[in-house]
Structure 1
């Protein structure tokens, strides 16, 4: 009995850690949109594609570090899965892009803050920390409805409220 409970707990733990990009049940050209939704639930957003396909957005913001974009073709078959918040995904954000274009690339943001004096609207996403050990955020700065620059910021632990990093 103890072994059965341990095995069940391990299976649930492994299933809870599965991510679309590492899930061996999902196979390009074979897996269907309904299967993906059955496994991972409803996506946060669905983006239509020019070829008749669609992209399912699975964002872990505000607490997680990933946004999985699951690309389906016009026949509803899996084409690819990308982590939009990977370094390569973040590098696709360019000056001049609109907020909708950035949302389409990176998925739902963690937060938005408007700075009245500079006239900048800053959106951020929690991302995988680098070797320094502190939390990291990717920031996109908009002015007059277009990207002007991007940057990274570190999240230092709070001395007043331990465990709160906002």
Structure 2
């Protein structure tokens, strides 16, 4: 093997390792490997993730920090901080499983609490419809798509959902 090929292989191996966590899984968001559930504080989360888009005070006394990575990103992170100030959990909410929970009749606030800040909000006054969208990564196709939630403008309730290709945007 020539030195040039050997160097190329070592470089590629280094790049692959750089993009993986301690268990060898691809890193979804750099810095998450520095956070530990039950140990890290809200301050630790903020030092890794920055200023949250919104902080929700939950009835349970917990706090939810929301980090949308749009408009071009494909993830939105929710971090749950316990009453003790420690990181309880975090999750990426733009998933097909979460989209399946969006049903007709839900309010805008309920959808926002499930999916976070939408990438865009467009009103179609003649149809009396408002459409929110989120850019996400289709796991099967590994391509960006838009998940759209359609609201009745009068009631503010979900009337349906749709999905569309985001590769041309």
Q: Structure 2 vs 1, CA of residues 27 and 107 (structure 1 numbering), >3 Å: closer, same or farther?
A: same
Structure 1 gaps of 5+ residues are 1-5, 158-164
For 1:112, what is the secondary structure of its paired residue? strand
Per the normalisation by structure 2, the TM-score is 0.77
Per the normalisation by structure 1, the TM-score is 0.78
Q: Which residue of 1 aligns with 2:83?
A: 74
Computing the radius of gyration from Cα coordinates, the structure with the larger value is 2
Report the RMSD for the aligned CA atoms in angstroms: 2.3
1:1-166 equivalence runs, <5 A: 19=29, 23-129=32-138, 131-132=140-141, 135-143=144-152, 144-157=155-168, 165=169
Residue pair 1:130, 1:136 contacting (<8 A) in 2 also: no
Residue pair 1:47, 1:104 contacting (<8 A) in 2 also: no
Q: d(CA) in 1 for partners of 2:88 and 2:98?
A: 17
Q: Deviation of residue 129 (structure 1)? A: 3.5
Which stretches of structure 1, 4 residues or longer, exceed 2 Å deviation after superposition?
129-135
Q: Deviation of residue 153 (structure 1)? A: 0.8
Q: d(CA) in 1 for partners of 2:141 and 2:86?
A: 40
Residue pair 1:84, 1:106 contacting (<8 A) in 2 also: yes
Q: Which residue of 1 aligns with 2:7?
A: none
Q: Deviation of residue 23 (structure 1)? A: 2.0
Residue pair 1:32, 1:77 contacting (<8 A) in 2 also: yes
CA deviations over 1:5-50 (Å, ceiling 9, x no partner): x9xxx8xx86xx7627x82221111111011101111101111111
